[in-house]
Each structure stands twice: as C-alpha cells, then as structure tokens.
Structure 1
Amino acid sequence: MISKMKRVARSMAMAFAAAATITLTMPAGNAYAIDHVECRGGEDFLKIWSHSGGRESVDCYANRGRTDFGGWWVDKISTGNNDLIYYDANGDSVKIERWHEITFPNRPPKVNSIEIL
C-alpha cells in the first residue's frame, strides 16, 4: 500500500515538474490591446483624420495591436511615436514610420484596418 502511494506521489511530482518546465520554456504570447483614446494636445498618439458618408472624424489610438477601421476614407495621418501599417480596401498594406505626418488631398485611401507595431 505504501509503495503504491509512493508511485502515485512520484507520478504527480513528475507531472508537476513537466508542466512547470513547459510553462517556463514556452515564450509568453504578446498581448495586443490597441486602444481608441481621447485625442489630447501634447500626446504622441497615432492620430487619423477621416471621412465617410458625409461625416468627418478625428481618432487617436495607443498601444500595439490591430483594429477595424470600417472602410473610412483617410485624409491625414500623424503617427506620433508609433509605427503604423494600414490595410486598404484594395488589399494593400502600407507601412508608415513613427514621427511622420502624411496628408492625402487628392486620392485618400479607403482603410479597412490599422495596426500599431
């Protein structure tokens, strides 16, 4: 009876050690939590001026990740301290480095989603 308990305890210890080893050696996943934030002067957020269906909008984003942009036409982008990729309705992706401001006066892209790197 005691040897059976020892085997069970040893098996449980081995299972625990294996689980701990896997947990410690596997890389942690990246948490992507892009946030739509309030635009404030002096902040280095990603800032996008856009329009769709007769409405205009100015939106700011912070933190790494990807989010839907709803197919709005983008008039201007200020990347702040963020590297950006926008994905347009034509299936193209365009990367814009941080600290850049770009305007699209004649042919604004229709953007489906944005990603802060």
Structure 2
Amino acid sequence: MLSKVKKSATSAAVAFAAAAALTAVVPAGNAYAIDHVACRGGENFLKIWSHSGGKQSVDCYANRGKTDFGGWWVDKISTGNNDLIYNDANGDSVKIERWHEITFPNRPPKVNSIEIL
C-alpha cells in the first residue's frame, strides 16, 4: 500500500515539475484583441473614413492589436486615444500618435492592415 502512495506522489511531483518547466520555457504571448466597434460620439476610438469599389465606410476600432483592412483607400483618420500603425500597399508602415486627425484629400493611402499599439 505504501508503495502505491509513494508512486502516486512521485508521479504527481513529476507532472507538476514538467508543467512548471513548460510554463517557464514558453513565454506568454500578447493577447491581440482589436475590436471593430460601433462609432459613438464622445468615445475616443480609432476612427477611419475609407472607400473602395464605389463604397464608402466609416469604421471604429478599440483595444490593442492588429487586423486586416482589406486594401481600402483611407480618406481620414482620427486616432482618439490610440497610437496607430498602418501598413499600406507600398509596403510602408506609418505611425500616427494618439490625439491626431489626418486627412488625405489628394492621394489617399491604400491600407492593407492597421495596428493599435
């Protein structure tokens, strides 16, 4: 009987040590939870006015993370309380700091993805 208890305790200790080792070796990744949210007045969301294929759109985003933007042409960006990086079709990454509003009246960028920092 004592032998079974000892084996169970040893097995539990080995399992615990293995779990602890994996936890220490595998770093926790960043949780990217960018959300497409309803635009509401008085909120400090990232807000992007864009167009593509004859359609126009106004979209708002909240929370840190990165998402596809589908190659839409961006007419205006209001960052609200978010730092933003957008990646355009030319391969450039452009950072815009929070509390800025930018318009692109003549040559709007074609944006492939956006990231809230």
Corresponding position of 2:110: 110
Match of 2:54 in 1: 54
Q: Identical aligned pairs, as a percentage?
A: 85
List per-residue Cα deviations over 1:86-108 (Å, max 9, x = no partner).
01111111011111111111100
Question: Where do 4+ consecutive residues of structure 1 move more than 3 Å?
Answer: 1-5, 24-27
Where does 1:3-22 land on structure 2 (aligned, <5 Å)?
Answer: 3=3, 5-20=5-20, 22=22
- Please give the alpha-carbon distance, in whole angstroms, between the structure 2 residues aligned to 1:39 and 1:4: 63
Q: Give TM-score, length-normalised by structure 1.
A: 0.88
Deviations 1:39-78 (A, max 9, x none): 1111000000111111111110001111111111000000
Counterpart residue number, 2:45: 45
Q: Which amino acid aligns with 1:102?
A: I
Distance (Å, rounded) in 1 between the aligned partners of 2:14 and 2:55: 62
Structure 1 unpaired stretches of 5+? none
Deviation at 1:14, TM superposition (A): 2.7
* Matched length: 117
**Cα RMSD (Å) of the superposition?**
2.0
Gaps of 5+ in 2: none
Shift of 1:4: 6.1
TM-score, with structure 2 as normaliser: 0.88
